[in-house]
Structure formats: C-alpha cells, structure tokens
Homo-oligomer: A and B are copies of this chain.
Amino acid sequence: MELVERLLNGDKRAAAKLISLVENEDREAAEVLRELYQHTGNTHIVGITGPPGVGKSSLVYELTKVLRKKGKKVGIVAIDPTSRFTGGAILGDRIRMTELSTDEGVFMRSMGTRGHHGGIAKATTEAAIVLDAMGMDVVFVETVGAGQSQSMIWECVHTSILVEMPGMGDEIQALKAGILEIGDIFVVNKGDMEGTDQLVKELESVAEYKAMEQEWKPPVHVTIATEGKGTDEVVSSIEDHLEYLKESGEYQKREEERTKGEFTRIVQDLLLKKAFAGERSKKFDQLLKEIIEKKTDPFTAAEKLLEE
C-alpha cells in the first residue's frame, strides 16, 4: 500500500491518513495494521495521566522540546472523550503545540474514544502501532481524566507518568491509594503553588511504599511546565525507566502483557462483529425486543443467542 510506504519513510501526512483510516475502522484498517505490525517494537510508549487542570498538555509540550534537542523523534497522542453531539474529538488548549507541528520530527494527534468500552486502549494501541512503524523514538499518550482511564492506559504503555498539582482537594487524597499505583514517575506540576512541599512528601511516601514491592522506586519531580522548569529531570527519569525495564527483564514482561491485551481486544472485536452479523443480528434485535417487553431477561436471552 502506498500510504504504508510513505509512512515508513516518515511522511506525517501519511501517518495522519492512516490513523484516520484505523480510527474509522475502514475495511482496510486490519490490513494496514497487519502490514505495519512487522515494523513495530522500537518505540518507547509513555503514558501521561492525571486529573483535569494539572497541566498535562504543557508538560508533554516541554518534554517533547527536551527530547527534540536530544535528536529524538516524538509522537504525541491525546486521547479525548468523544463528543456525542458533534462526533468530533475535543482538542483542548493545544495552541502552543502549533510550534511543534511544523517540526518534521514531531507528530501530534488527538483521538476520540467514541465512548466505546475499551476505546482508550484501542485508540492507544492502534496509534502506537502507526507511530512506532513511522520510526518515532518516544510516543506520549496523554489521557484526560482519572480512574478507569488511568488503569486502562497502564496496560498499554511501557512507562507511566502521573501528574498532580498542589491544592486539588480532599478527593485526591482518597484517590491516591488506588491511582498513584500506576505511576512509574510522579510529577508535581505548578510547583510554585502553595502545598507543593506537602504533596511532594506524600508522593515520596507512596514511592517508598512502591519500592517495597518492586525494584523501581518512582522518582518525584517538581515542574513548572509553562516555564520549562524541571522538565530535563523528567526526561532523564523517562530514559532511566526504560533502561531499568530492559535490564531487569521487566520490558519483555510488559511487552508480553501489552501484546496479550492487544490480542484479546482484537479477538473480542472480531468475535463481536461475527456475533452481531447477518442472521445473528436479526436474532439479537428480536431478543432485545423480548427483553424490553419483559418477556425474557438479558441473561437468558444471551444464552439463547449464543446457543445457535
């Protein structure tokens, strides 16, 4: 396929077209992904996650600038919830990103999830395949939101960065026990705000706790992303973490987990497509009607549908 050839030569417009094709689940999508897959395995996939408003986009922007100075090629994927009314992805405040968009060594893309279950994982995986094949050294995957999204992203990346900021209120405290578990690197952004020292201390105690369960102790960095402060150190930690993963054998383990998740999702997609196609689809609609009319329940109906 010509687009694939162009992508392998680093053509950004080809990348944009291929991601759209994959995103829209065009008929060629599976074929393209299959072709690209053999060219993957060389990218460091880094997830950036944290509550809204902590400055994830600014941070990604500054980290990208640091990596570019080191000659690294960088892909950026921002995963946004999809608008139900307009059908388009929300772009956020990415005006400052325009500077990067003219750089041949940077590719940026905002992707929607269409509210699909597992949409974040699917979008991340597929974009990563395209950008990996394109030859990007690092791919940042930025997710808006917390909770569910964060644990999903965890399964799709090599290194995860959790971004927090001071003064986010009590709920953050409550979330910490669960959500902080996914960070390989902690960043306190807006580090000139009151409460920074306290938050750093708390994150360090979480890091200590994690160090009891694994060899890698997550470093805690303070940044002021909008001024580019502290970002060199974060990039060093990203590189250190990759080195740790490779030396400890953890890289291979995460790759296998990532691949398993990917394979499971693909099998699941294909199964569902087959299950809801043709005659089955008619039967599905008929059973749905019976459930709505309370003539049966969805559990019995599901068994009936799959028996045939």
Contacts and interface: CB of A to CB of B under 8 A. Distances in A.
Interface of A: 30, 33-34, 37-38, 41, 51-54, 57, 80-86, 90-93, 113, 115, 117-121, 143-152, 154-155, 168-175, 177-179, 181-182, 213, 255-256, 259-260, 262-263, 265-272, 274-275, 284, 287-288, 291-292, 294, 297-303, 305-306
A267 to B, nearest CB: 5
A81, A90, A181: most-surrounded residue (chain B CB, <10 A):
A81
A69 to B, nearest CB: 27
A171 B53 contact: yes
Chain A interface mostly: helix
Given A51-B52, A115-B148, 5 more contacts: A34-B299, A115-B152, A117-B152, A266-B302, A268-B272
Contacts of A90: 174-175, 177-178
A182 to B, nearest CB: 7
B303 A270 contact: yes
B85 A181 contact: yes
A80 B58 CA distance: 28
Given A90-B178, A149-B149, A259 B52 contact: no
24 contacts: A30-B299, A37-B298, A52-B175, A53-B172, A81-B179, A84-B154, A85-B181, A92-B174, A93-B173, A113-B147, A113-B151, A119-B148, A144-B146, A147-B149, A148-B149, A256-B292, A259-B291, A259-B292, A259-B298, A266-B301, A267-B306, A268-B272, A271-B272, A271-B275
Contacts of A292: 255-256, 259
A117, A213, A270, A302: most-surrounded residue (chain B CB, <10 A):
A117
Contact of A284 (B53, B267, B297): B267
A93 B176 CA distance: 12
B144 A144 contact: no
Given A294-B41, A297-B38, A300-B34, A181 B147 contact: no
A305 B267 contact: yes
Contacts of A85: 181, 213
The 9 closest A-B pairs by CB, nearest first: A145-B147, A117-B118, A53-B169, A115-B151, A37-B297, A81-B147, A92-B174, A83-B178, A145-B146
